[in-house]
Structure 1
Amino acid sequence: MGKKVLIVVTSSDKIAGNDTGLWLEEYAAPYAAFVKQGYDVTVRSIDGGQVPLDPNSLPEEENLEWQEAQAILTNTDKLSEDDVSAGYDAVYLPGGHGTVFDFPDNLLLQRVLREHAEQDRVIGSVCHGPTALVHVTLSDGTPLVKGRRVNAFTDEEERDMGLEGAVPFLLESTLREKGAQFEGGDKWTDFSIRDGNLVTGQNPMSSESVARKIIDAVENR
């Protein structure tokens, strides 16, 4: 039976009055990698419907390998109760600044992640996608990230963008506060970590290495 991957994307489209949303590469490159691997990929968004794309993430020339993934974003299904118990082998959370507003407090997404963690299924995320992890607790109340090696968009990178005052929290600092063993790479370079069945990456440049680590984790569960 083929492996199944759930990708959850943001529906939030504004930050400090400017357009934001999903960062395309962080979604489309892993999607293409999962499909190439033969996985059945399901895409859900927080609110359903058309997914906003950060305009800064759109390539100057169309990437043919991303066409299938991008077409799905015109009309997505909303994350639902069925996704909690659907038996996905992995859930993947791409970033974009939209995620900082609608990932952290979404209780349904928290349940999906708790279920995956407690059944030792794969959780992968990149850049701002790990905002989804910050409020997730296991059934015993322990933060999901406590004691885990994780990576995400760094505080230094957020300051480089001048958005430290526009986001509700700094992701690296918050993960550390939750007890995560945060490991960061050089800013704006590919860096990703696999800690068991938890895979996290730092920025858009880490999209493909995160996908490879997720595939490795799925194949070696």
Structure 2
Amino acid sequence: MAPPRRALIAITSAHAPLYPGGKETGLFITEALHPFEVFRKAGFEVDLASETGKYSADWLSTTDEWLKPEDRKVYEDKNSEFRRKLDTMQTPDKLNADDYGLFFASAGHASLIDYPDAKGLQKFASGVWADGGVVSAVCHGGAIFKGIVDDKGTPIIKGRNVTGFTTQGEEEEGILDTIKSWDRPTIEASAASLGANYVSPPGPWDSFTQTDGRLVTGANPASATATAEAAVAAFDKLK
């Protein structure tokens, strides 16, 4: 029997100065919103959760360049399903992984800060994996894989193909030193340390995904929709 057609989107609860003028990183809005819309369209029930039950929006993700009018309308409407669920998020310990067939880690640079130690979200995702479900992440969401393991305690990405935000992209944005000050590895370095095969997109900002069985990853904000669609496709192959 296939796992439940229900998805949990993980949200970073971290925030930190990253942009000029001390503007902060946090949740990159469309990396949660676009997957939410894909999953709902595909007939999934969708919930949101962060390690603390709280979130802050990434400043860059709220600018006109990254939050298009149709997305802004949904995000700023406090009565939209997405915004209501974002504002009333659960913590993972209040949810049962057995009720979900798909786990999706949204991101924002802030994910590098809290996801590596997000024991609740990692335990939840490990449960979805153990039950035969799909585990997915986009952009910096791959930071969460540090603690998502199989029943033998092995990272689920070991020996598998994954993608995520490139180190080249961090350099182009001029924020590699900030990441180092957080004492966190880049997604490429984290994947390598866990024994995964990191596959780079053609360019840092090109939409790009990787599917390796029940593991689905995407490279950047432009990949959020495609990654969610690939996760649905992987789910629909489950028996």
| Structure-1-length-normalised TM-score | 0.91
Contact 2:23 2:59 in 1 (8 A): no
Contact 2:128 2:135 in 1 (8 A): yes
Compute the displacement of 1:78 (Å). Answer: 1.7
Of the candidates 61, 70, 78, which is equivalent to residue 69 of structure 2?
Answer: 61
Q: Distance in 2 between matches of 1:61 and 1:95?
A: 21
More helix by share: 2
Q: Show structure 2 runs of 5+ residues with no match.
A: none
Q: Show structure 1 runs of 5+ residues with no match.
A: none
Contact 1:15 1:97 in 2 (8 A): no
Contact 1:125 1:199 in 2 (8 A): yes
Q: Distance in 1 between matches of 2:100 and 2:225?
A: 20
Q: Could you say what secondary structure the match of 1:110 adopts?
A: helix
Structure 1 residues 15 and 117, CA gap change in structure 2 (3 angstroms): farther
Q: Distance in 1 between matches of 2:191 and 2:137?
A: 13
Structure 1 residues 140 and 86, CA gap change in structure 2 (3 angstroms): closer
Worse-superposed segment, 199-208 or 56-65:
56-65
Q: Distance in 1 between matches of 2:27 and 2:160?
A: 26
| Structure-2-length-normalised TM-score | 0.85
Of the candidates 108, 115, 132, which is equivalent to residue 127 of structure 2?
Answer: 115
Contact 2:98 2:127 in 1 (8 A): no
Worse-superposed segment, 22-31 or 117-126:
117-126
* Equivalent residue number for residue 141 of structure 1: 153
Q: Could you say what secondary structure the match of 1:5 adopts?
A: strand
Q: Distance in 2 between matches of 1:76 and 1:141?
A: 28
CA RMSD in angstroms comes to: 1.9
What per-residue deviation string (whole Å, max 9, x for no partner) do you get for residues 141-194 of structure 1?
A: 322211011001111111111121222211111211211011011211100011
Worse-superposed segment, 9-18 or 23-32:
9-18
Contact 1:126 1:206 in 2 (8 A): yes
Runs of 4+ displaced beyond 4 Å = 64-67
Identical aligned residues as a percent: 28
